[in-house]
Every structure is written in structure tokens, then in C-alpha cells.
Amino acid sequence: MMTRKLIFFDIDGTLVDHEKKIPPSTQQAIEQLKAAGHELVIATGRGPFMLKPISEQLNIESYVSFNGSYVVYNGEVVYSHSINPDRLAELTQITLN
């Protein structure tokens, strides 16, 4: 009996090719891992809105996004840490000057 594993995938060059498409071989491998009972997670610096088409096509409901500041496990937010709005306004002013 194989041990269940939690497997993390990056997007670029891993789940999607240089044309930003999910190859059939990737789709098949993902399905085989799921059938074997493994839990799959997308790990990316992208925001959730940017990875939604990929996660939907692969039916992966867990992800670590925004470089770890927003984490969803099986469709439920389990961690969220955003930048303080006052600090963001301050940084915006600095970049505009």
C-alpha cells in the first residue's frame, strides 16, 4: 500500500508549458496522483484570480498563493495575511514621488 502524500506544484514549467497550456501528459499525471489518493496543492506567487483557470481545469482546490500570504485548503481559506492598508498607502506615495 502506498503512503498518501501532500504534493505541491509550481505553475510555470511544471503544470503549464512555455505556451501557458496544460499538456495532456500533465493532466493525466494529475489524475493518476489523485486516483492514488494523494493531495495536490498549487504553490505560486500569483494571486488566486490568476491561477483559477488552471486550478479549475485540474480540479485542484488547494493552493498557496501570493508567495505564502494566502492559503486555501480544499476550498477553505486557512491563512491570510495582507499588507496593512496604511503601509500600502505609504509605499504608494513613496513610489509616486
DSSP per residue, 22-55: --HHHHHHHHHHHHTT-EEEEE-SS-HHHHHHHH
- Return the C-alpha cell found at 96: 509616486
Q: Could you give the residue numbers annotated as active site?
A: 10
Q: Which residues contact 7 (CB under 8 A, 6 or more apart)?
A: 33, 38, 39, 40, 41
Torsion angle in degrees (nearest 10) through CA of 31, 33, 34, 36: 120
